[in-house]
Every structure is written in C-alpha cells, then in structure tokens.
C-alpha cells in the first residue's frame, strides 16, 4: 500500500478527502517511522466552516478527532530511545518502552517530598534568589485591600449567623492569599469553577459587598432568587459559576469548559478550586485524565488545608499530598506555599500562560491551613488542638505576612490600615442592614426558570404549597410574599 501511494498522488488526494486525513498522509510520510506523529494544518475549506454552526457535522467531528492525535510530546520523548535492538524495545501504544532484566517496583513514595515554591518568608521578607514574578504598587495594594475586605466580611457575616440573622456561613480565614492572589493572576475572561471557599475571587472581579449581603440574607435582589444556601454565590457577569455543595463535581465541568474555550480559540482558560478532601472524589481523577488527554487549558487549584471537615490528610491518602497525582495523569504540577501571596500569584500567572499557549492542564497544590471552623455547623476544636489553630493564626497568617512586605516597600502604613479597615467595616454594616430589610423573593420564584411552559405537575405542586401556607401561616416565614 505504501508503494502504491508513493506512485499515485491522485489516490493520496482521494484518501485525504474520503478519510479526512488532511496532511497526515503524504508521500514523504511513508519514509518515516514516526509519520503518524506529524502535525497537520487545517485546510482552508474546513477552517472556513469552523465558524459556521450549520457546517457539516462530519467535517467538525473529523477535525476534532484529528486534534486528539496531535498530542505526541510524551511519545516523541519515549521514541527517542535507540531501537537498534528490537529485543530491548517494545513499541507499545503511547510510545516505546525499554525492557529490563531486573525486576524493579516503583517506590510508593519518593525519598524526599516535593518541594514547595515560596517567595516570602514568615516575616514578609523576600527570600534571596527567589524566582519572583514582579508585582507593582497598585496591584499589591489592591491585593492587600481585598484580603482585608474578605477578612472583615467573614467576621461580620459569621457574627450575623451566630446572631440568627442568616442560616449558614463559611469563612476563608487563613486562606485569604489563595483567594485574592489567584484571582489577581487571572483575567476576567477566564472561567472560574469554585468550590465554596473562594468568594475572594468573586470579590476581586467586582462583585459588590451589597451583592454578597443580598445572597447571604436571601432577599429579592439575590441573583439566585433565594434558591441557594448562603455563600453559594454565582455571577454570569463575572464568569463565576454558581457554587455547588457537592464535592468535586465542578472539576469535570471546568475541563469541559476549558475544552470549549480551546475549540473556540479563546485567549482564556478555565480555573477550578477544590480542597484536599475533593481529591478523594472520583470526579477529581476523571477530570485530570480528561484534561490531560484532551489537552484542555484548565488550572486545577487544590487548597490543601490539612482537613476535610474533621478528616485529616493522613486519613485520606498516603501519597505525597496532591501534587504528585498530576504526573500520574500526565499533568504538569507545582506545590506552592498557600500563605505566600507573591508565590501564589507567580505560580498562577505562569500556569495560565502555559495552559493557554501550550494547550495543557496545570495542577497547583497550595499548602495552607483552615484557621476557622469548617462552617458554622462545625466545631473544629473537637478534632484538632487549639494550640495548633492559634499557631497558624499568629505565625503563618498570610494577610499580615503580605502587609509586612508592602510596608517594607513604603506602599502601606498603619494610618492607611486603620482608615481602610474602618471604611470597609462601615460599608459592610450598611450592606447588611439594607439586605436584611429588603423584601424576600416571592413563592412563585420557586417554580420558575426551569421550564419554558411549566408542566401540570409543577402547577399542582405550587397550588398545594399555597394552600399549605394559607392553612398554616405560622409555619411559614411571614416576610415571604405568597
């Protein structure tokens, strides 16, 4: 067949058309043992049809399936082996593998744990020789201001829940740097798939304090129309997908969105957050494999804070944290000090560039500590010592560490600190008062926004609910319009 194709250009072109192999089949390619690894440009007619939603589906399907086989970097590396002796090499799908007469098992753990990228020491001083992504005064001050705002918001909303004014809350205390520094390294076009401990990303993107309060107090101005628990934020405007309580379900969603961004040739990536507990879910493993195979521009950010509610990491896995799992799936990975805002910013900044320009997923494990309780439904002193909590709160606080750095650059002062904290507190108190007094969403909103024309069973349910409210008014909130 190879001989025949060498001598028949017409047959080659016919096969290109019938099999949609584009430039994969060329006469010269049959002279190379690695011809199936060659990259292939998109022909003009097909490129023209890519923007046409009515284009023939077979053309699109062929193009996308062809793109799946463009990823050959691991194969090319493996195929560099000297195959002069076929008895020493196995040409196996995925690349060539060298045989060995020695029976060797891969160790269950490396001799040394994966290093952790860090730029600032605990005193907020730059570490000599650190690989630092430059951060200017304006950006640094905004990062610090948003960390203070997030910290203050957590304090006031937590107190509001304890006073019975909202039903639930969850803080980011101890993880402010991960929230704000990651957000600062992204662009507004990047799609964010949060877990539930990343409101700082939304704050950075312009979600107002009033919008946060409206969601937590479940009023008519809440974008979710009161259908979600407090802290389950979402914003189409800010490319921030709505929080879901189910653990790790956002990870495959992020990969799918990243793949779509890649197919649309957008200068953007998807970013998803999860905790160390989320890495024990099947969705984590499926998402990493999915992302690696499809070369999706997605950044996985793991907030390894040591505890999945009351379960310590020692009861979750025996591997060297989460970072080592990336290489098993063919995902480039890095471990970062999660309490070092500059290190996080630099890592995410670099990861975003690689994800978009190289079409690859990146896994970032940020080592941090959840200083607060898991949520207002939890008392973490029941399963971890108070001394441990206090040490992380005082000695490893990411906010105070970053403050020391900007003060050393003469970008901040005690007077600016006092003035800003007072201002943010007043703004939040006002937002809470407004949100608390606002009208609640009507009962009718429970049954809308799913069907264009509501089915009869939904009408029946609404009728039964209204009858129940009329018969038992004391059992239902009086401030919810029926």
pLDDT for residue 81: 52
Catalytic residue from among 37, 238, 359, 374: 374
Q: Give residue-wise pLDDT tens across range 188-212.
A: 999 999 999 999 999 999 999 999 9
Alpha-carbon radius of gyration of the chain: 27
Residue 41 has pLDDT above 60, yes or no: no
Instruction: Select which of 235, 279, 333, 375 is catalytic.
Output: 375
Burial class from Cβ neighbours inside 10 Å (0-12, 13-18, 19+) for residue 246 reads exposed
> What DSSP letter does each residue of 190-221 carry, written as one string?
SEEE--SS-HHHHHHTT--HHHHHHHHTT-TT
Q: What does the pLDDT read at residue 401?
A: 98
pLDDT per residue over 396-438, tens digit each?
999 999 999 999 999 999 999 999 999 999 999 999 999 999 9
User: What is the per-residue burial (b if ≥16 Cβ within 10 Å, else e) of 134-156?
Assistant: ebeeeebbebbbbbbbbbbbbeb
Q: Which residues of 263-283 are buried (b: 16+ CB within 10 A; e: fewer)?
A: eeeeebbbbbbbbbbbbbbeb
User: Which DSSP category does 59 fall into?
Assistant: H
Q: State the pLDDT at residue 84.
A: 52
3-state DSSP percent of the chain in helix, strand and coil, to 5 = 50, 10, 40
Mean pLDDT of the residues in the chain: 87
pLDDT digits (tens, 9 = 90+) for 220-268: 999 999 999 999 999 999 999 999 999 999 999 999 999 999 999 999 9
* pLDDT of amino acid 214: 98
Active site residue 238: no
Q: With bands split at pLDDT 50, 70 and 90, how would you rate the model's confidence at 2?
A: very low
Catalytic residue among 245, 377, 408, 422: 245
Which pTM value belongs to this model?
Answer: 0.82
Is 374 part of the annotated catalytic residue set? Answer: yes
Q: What is the pLDDT averaged over residues 127-134?
A: 93
Check: CB of residue 207 under 8 Å from CB of residue 238: yes
Judge whether residue 37 has pLDDT over 80. Answer: no
> What's residue 265's pLDDT?
97
Question: Of 468, 420, 428, which Cα lies nearest the Cα of 446?
Answer: 468
Q: What's the CA gap between 35 and 117, in Å, rounded?
A: 40
Question: Under a CB-based contact definition with an 8 Å cutoff, are residues 99 and 87 in contact?
Answer: yes
159 is annotated as an active-site residue: yes
Cβ distance 235 to 203 under 8 Å?
no
- Spot the catalytic one: 137, 159, 419, 439: 159
Instruction: Indicate if 108 belongs to the active site.
Output: no
Mean pLDDT, rounded, for 374-379:
97
CA distance to 300, 412, 452, per residue, from 243 (Å): 16, 34, 24
């Amino acid at each position: 067949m190879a001989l025949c194709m060498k001598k028949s250009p017409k047959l080659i072109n016919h096969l290109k058309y019938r099999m949609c192999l584009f430039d994969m089949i060329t006469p010269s390619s049959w002279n190379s043992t690695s011809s199936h690894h060659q990259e292939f440009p998109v022909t003009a007619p097909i490129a023209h049809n890519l923007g046409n939603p009515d284009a023939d589906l077979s053309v699109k399907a062929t193009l996308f399936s062809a793109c799946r086989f463009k990823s050959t970097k691991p194969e090319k590396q493996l195929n560099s082996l000297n195959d002069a002796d076929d008895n020493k090499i196995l040409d196996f799908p995925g690349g060539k593998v060298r045989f060995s007469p020695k029976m060797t098992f891969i160790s269950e753990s490396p001799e040394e744990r994966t290093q952790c990228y860090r730029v600032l020491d605990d005193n907020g001083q730059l570490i000599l020789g650190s690989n630092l992504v430059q951060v200017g005064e304006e950006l640094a001050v905004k990062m610090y201001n948003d960390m203070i705002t997030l910290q203050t918001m957590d304090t006031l909303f937590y107190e509001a829940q304890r006073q019975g004014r909202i039903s639930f809350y969850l803080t980011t205390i101890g993880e402010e740097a991960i929230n704000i520094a990651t957000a600062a390294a992204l662009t507004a076009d990047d799609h964010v798939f949060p877990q539930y401990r990343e409101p700082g990303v939304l704050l950075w993107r312009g979600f107002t304090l009033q919008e946060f309060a409206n969601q937590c107090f479940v009023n008519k101005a809440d974008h979710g129309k009161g259908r979600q628990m407090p802290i389950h934020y979402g914003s189409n405007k800010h490319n921030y997908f709505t929080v879901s309580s189910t653990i790790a379900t956002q990870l495959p969603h992020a990969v799918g969105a990243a793949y779509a961004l890649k197919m649309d040739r957008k200068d953007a990536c998807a970013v998803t957050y999860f905790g160390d507990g989320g890495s024990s879910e099947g969705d984590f493993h499926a998402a990493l494999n999915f992302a690696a195979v499809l070369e999706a521009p997605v950044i996985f950010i793991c907030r390894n804070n040591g505890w999945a509610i009351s379960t310590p990491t020692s009861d979750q896995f025996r591997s060297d944290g989460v970072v080592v799992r990336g290489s098993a799936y063919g995902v480039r990975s890095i471990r970062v000090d999660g309490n070092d805002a500059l290190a996080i910013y630099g890592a995410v900044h670099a990861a975003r560039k690689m994800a978009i320009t190289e079409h690859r997923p990146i896994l970032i494990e940020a080592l941090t500590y959840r200083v607060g309780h898991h949520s207002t439904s939890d008392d973490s002193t029941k399963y971890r010592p108070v001394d441990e909590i206090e040490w992380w709160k005082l000695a490893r606080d990411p906010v105070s560490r970053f403050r020391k750095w900007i003060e050393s650059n003469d970008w901040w002062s005690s007077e600016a600190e006092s003035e800003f904290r007072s201002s943010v507190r007043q703004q939040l108190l006002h937002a809470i008062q407004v949100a608390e007094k606002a009208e609640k969403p009507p009962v009718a909103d429970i049954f809308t926004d799913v069907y264009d024309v509501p089915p009869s069973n939904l009408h029946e349910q609404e009728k039964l609910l209204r009858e129940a409210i009329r018969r038992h008014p004391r059992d239902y909130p009086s401030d919810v319009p029926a």
